[in-house]
Structure 1
C-alpha cells in the first residue's frame, strides 16, 4: 500500500469515527462533552470500583423519572449514572440532573463537568425554592432528576437518615415514577477527594418504582409531605436491608414496625413551596 493510500485510509477511519460519535450524540439527549464523560465514567467506575448491580438499570430511556438513593460518598452520582443506558427501551444515554450543594457547583475545575451533567445547585439553608422548581420543570420536560433525600453525606453509613420534605413535594408535584437505589460498599467519608482515589467493590440495588398515586389528590403540605417522604425513606431502607435512623438517634429495625415518634419537619420546603 502506498503512502498516499495509507493516509487516505486513516483519514477515512477518522471521518467515520467522527460521524459515528456525532450520530450518537445527536441520537441521545446529551451534548458531546457529556457523551465523552460517560465513556470515561464507565471505564473508570468499572475498573476502580468493580461496579455490580442486582439487575439491569430500570430507569426509563426516554421518559421522566425521579431517582432517590442513600448518600455516603462524593462518588454516589457516578455510581447511579453507571450503565443507566442498559435499562428498558432504546438504550439511550442520558444525563441525570443531580441536586448538589451550591458551593461545590462553582468549584474551579469541576464546574464545566457539573454544567454538562445539568446539575442543579442548591443552597444548604433550604430557603431558596428555585432549585426545587427547576427540578420540577425538568421532570415535566421528560428528564431524569436525581436526589439524595438525606440531604448530606451519611459519614457513618449506618442506616437511612430522615429525608428532606422537599423530595416528597417534588414527587407529588411531578407525578413521575420514583426509583429507589441503594448504594453499598461505596468508598466514603467526609473527604470530597479521597473516595475517588479509593478502590472498592460497589454494589447497587435497584428497586421497583414507589407508588405514590394515592397521595396525588391531596395537597402536598404538612402531614401528607411527612408521610410521602417517610414512605420513600422506608423503601430505601428496605431495599438496602438496613434500619431507618431517626434524627433523635432512635433506630427503626425492619422487624420493629413504625416508630412512635413524630417525623421532624425539615426546613428544605419553605411555606411558599408547600402549596
Structure 2
C-alpha cells in the first residue's frame, strides 16, 4: 500500500505529536514539573531549538537530588528559556517583582514558579524562598548582574547575592554561560529575532572552605567573583576582571534608555556589515 502525500504528512505529524507527548511524560516524571510546566517546557524547547537554533549541553552535572545556585550571565529576557530547556529540571528563577506583577506575562512567571525579588535593598522573603528550594534539592537561577547587559562589556558589575544564598543553604554554585542570546530592547523582541545560541556549564564550585564564614568581610565578594571568573573562562575570556556593584547599582530610566539606544545602534551596524 502506497501512502498519499497527505497521508504521509498526517502520519509524520502524528508521530511528532506522539514523540512530544512521550517527552512530556518522561520530563514530568523526572523533573518535578506539573503538566502545565511540562507543556511550557516543550514549547520553550521547540522555540529554542528551531527558532534560536540553540545548542544545549544536556542535564546539569549534578545528582538529581542535589540543589544548586545557577550563576548565569544576562543578555536577554529569554535567557531562562535556554537554561531551563537544557537542564530538564525545574529551575526557579529570581525575577524582579515588577515583572511578576505585569498583566502581560505575570501569569507565565507565576506558572513556572519564579521567585519575585525587590530590586533595591535586602529582600528577606525571596531569600528564604530560595533557601527552602535549594535545601530541598531544587535549582535556583540567578543573574548576578541584576539586569540585562546591553553594553559591550562581557558582564556588568555583580552583586554577591549568589554567594550568600549558596552559603546559607550549603549548596554549590554552578556557572552557566549563554552565548548569542537575542535581544532588541524589549521583553518581546527576542521572539522576532533569529539567533544561534550556545549554553555551557562549568564545573560545580565547591563552597566547603567558605561555609560558616558568610559574615566575614570580603567572603561573599570573593566567592561571587570566583563564580563570575568561571563564567569568563567558559566564554573564552580568561583575562576578564569582574567588578562588584556599588550600593547605587540600580540604573535610572534614562540610563536604561541610553543602553537600549546603544544596543540598537550596534545591531544596525552589525546588520550593515553583515556580522552574524
TM-score interval w.r.t. the shorter chain?
A: 0.7 to 0.9
Gap runs ≥5 in structure 2 = 1-19, 250-276
Change (3 A) 1:124 1:24: closer
Q: 1:39 aligns with which of 42, 61, 67?
A: 42
Instruction: Give the aligned CA root-mean-square deviation in angstroms.
Output: 2.9
Contact 2:37/2:112, CA 8 A, preserved across alignment: yes
Contact 1:48/1:199, CA 8 A, preserved across alignment: yes
Q: Aligned pair 1:191/2:194, yes or no?
A: no
Give the secondary structure class of the aligned counterpart of 1:51: coil
Give the secondary structure class of the aligned counterpart of 1:234: helix
Change (3 A) 1:83 1:19: closer
Q: Aligned pair 1:65/2:68, yes or no?
A: yes
Match of 2:266 in 1: none
Q: CA deviation at 1:214?
A: 1.1
Contact 2:31/2:90, CA 8 A, preserved across alignment: no
Change (3 A) 1:25 1:238: closer
Change (3 A) 1:157 1:72: farther
Contact 1:72/1:186, CA 8 A, preserved across alignment: yes
Match of 1:97 in 2: 92
Give the secondary structure class of the aligned counterpart of 2:95: strand
Gap runs ≥5 in structure 1 = 1-16, 86-93, 244-252, 269-275
Q: CA deviation at 1:20?
A: 9.7
Contact 2:158/2:244, CA 8 A, preserved across alignment: no
d(CA) in 2 for partners of 1:18, 1:238: 38
Q: Aligned pair 1:241/2:241, yes or no?
A: no
TM-score by length of 2: 0.74
TM-score by length of 1: 0.74
Number of residue pairs matched? 231
Q: Aligned pair 1:175/2:170, yes or no?
A: yes
Partner deviation per Cα, 1:199-249 (whole Å, 9 max, x = no partner) = 100011211111222111323353111111111111111221237xxxxxx
Change (3 A) 1:125 1:182: same
d(CA) in 2 for partners of 1:185, 1:23: 29
Contact 1:64/1:142, CA 8 A, preserved across alignment: yes
